Amino acid sequence: MPPAIYIYEKYYFRIFSLVMAILAFAFLVYSEFIGASISVILGVLLSFSYQGVKIDQGKRQLIKYDRFLWLKIGRWEAMSTPSYVTVVRINLSSRRSVPSPMVLPEDKKGAKAYKVNLVVEGDERYISICRGSFDKMTSEALRLGKYLNIRVLDYTTHDKKWIL
């Protein structure tokens, strides 16, 4: 019997917790203990940051959330009928115009990451589930495919193939 709810959760480092630590140090230098304590509390809270996805197949609902310690930010939404799960390759480039920080690839041209998408019937076409290394994403796609009782497509090479 499959589990009641599919859960994928990953630790996510937020640079804001480092900024809070620097701010707390600045408050301590000027003997502002209240500001320092608030900064430390916020820094600790934000350092335990996770991003996750929960899918409830029985209720056909999905939630994407951010979790800080026990506090979850996100809401349940209706999910379209799932067709299949796919693992896709993403090329990461050192020429990005996005403001988010990124570790540059070793070859300075590009690197590869992999992503699991849940392809659904509806306007949204697919739901992004997670991103990471090939082995982890393949096993996660297989786990999601078994949970939803649907097929899994390996879309990482030119030879597309069903792996479940």
- Best CA proximity match to 17, nearest among 52, 45, 50, 51: 45
Which of the two residues, 37 and 103, has the higher pLDDT score?
Answer: 37
Alpha helices in the chain (DSSP H): 15-29, 33-47, 134-148
pTM of this prediction? Answer: 0.76
- Contact assessment for residue 52 and residue 7, using Cβ atoms and an 8 Å cutoff: yes
* Domain-wise residue ranges, the chain: 1-79, 80-164
- Contact assessment for residue 104 and residue 110, using Cβ atoms and an 8 Å cutoff: no
Q: How confident is the model at residue 91 (pLDDT cuts 50, 70, 90)?
A: confident
pLDDT at 16: 82
Which of the two residues, 74 and 18, has the higher pLDDT score?
Answer: 74
Given a cut of 60, whether residue 150 has pLDDT beyond it is yes
Q: How confident is the model at residue 152 (pLDDT cuts 50, 70, 90)?
A: very high
